[in-house]
Amino acid sequence: MRTEFDRVHVTKQGAVAVLTLNHPESLNAASVSMVHGAMKALSHIEHADSGYRAIVVTGEGRGFCSGANLAEAAERRSSPETAGDALETAYHPLLRRFRDCRLPIVTAVNGAAAGIGMSIALMGDIIVAARSAYFLQAFARVGLVPDGGSTWMLPRMIGLARARELSLLAEKLPAETALAWGLINRVFDDATMMEEALKLATRLAEGPASLGMVRRLYWESPHNSFEQQIEQERMAQGRAGRSADFMEGVGAFLQKRPAKFTGK
């Protein structure tokens, strides 16, 4: 089953929603219309009756997302000020939407992930890439500064020295190097990458409702002191302990059988 949105489509693979950025002629450049389409797609996926329990985000064709649509910006005679406006009205809301999603996310990077496209890729809880894929902080090439949360995420993921290097030199970061640096989780051959991403997402979809709480805890942790974070863990554990999935997990453990979680 496939549901169409503006430059985005969602296909159902069991309990996994595959959200595909769909403008291959631009290597899926993130136009404002695509961003709005992606937000509508996420609302569709997270609807209580959708049956989805995990998400894969990928790109159509040869690229994941080549960054903001510069042709669109040129048509509007965009200036740095209006570029900033687009961040506030389009790109930032999308990134927050990914951050606040209640479902675990696998990003499957099938090609170039540049600029805001790299930021979208890094929103995954598990990030996998095709062997031919690469990541690029392209901003210095066009006289801009990193955006999309790059200067927040990259130092925390790979350290300040490597983050600055990526941003200042604007060099491509191959998937294998990204893996060695700890930026992503796994690299697969191009022909099997999507299949492997779906396997991982299916494992997540078969997991308990607490996985959504786990992803939230990790997003909160950089802001919190140790004391604040263990308090957040305590409150989350209380919610998880009241879930049907916890009862199923305990019952399965005692009965020595695999748990069958329902996401509730």
CA distance 154 to 169: 15
154-211 tens-digit pLDDT: 999 999 999 999 999 999 999 999 999 999 999 999 999 999 999 999 999 999 999 9
Is pLDDT at 98 greater than 70 in this prediction? yes
CA angle 181, 183, 188 (to 5 degrees): 95
My answer on whether 216 and 162 are in the same domain is no
In a domain, 243, yes or no: yes
Decide if 218 is inside a domain.
yes
Q: Structural domain of residue 218, as residue ranges?
A: 210-254
Going from the C-alpha of 25 to that of each of 69, 98, 146, the distances in angstroms are 11, 25, 24
Question: Do both 118 and 233 map to the same domain?
Answer: no
- Per-chain mean pLDDT for the chain: 95
Looking at the fold, whether 119 and 186 belong to one and the same domain comes out as yes
Q: Which pLDDT band holds residue 81 (cuts at 50, 70, 90)? A: low
DSSP string, 169-189: H---EEHHHHHHHTSSSEEE-
Whether 91 and 219 map to the same domain: the answer is: no
Q: Which pLDDT score is estimated for 73? A: 63
Is 224 found in the same domain as 135?
Answer: no
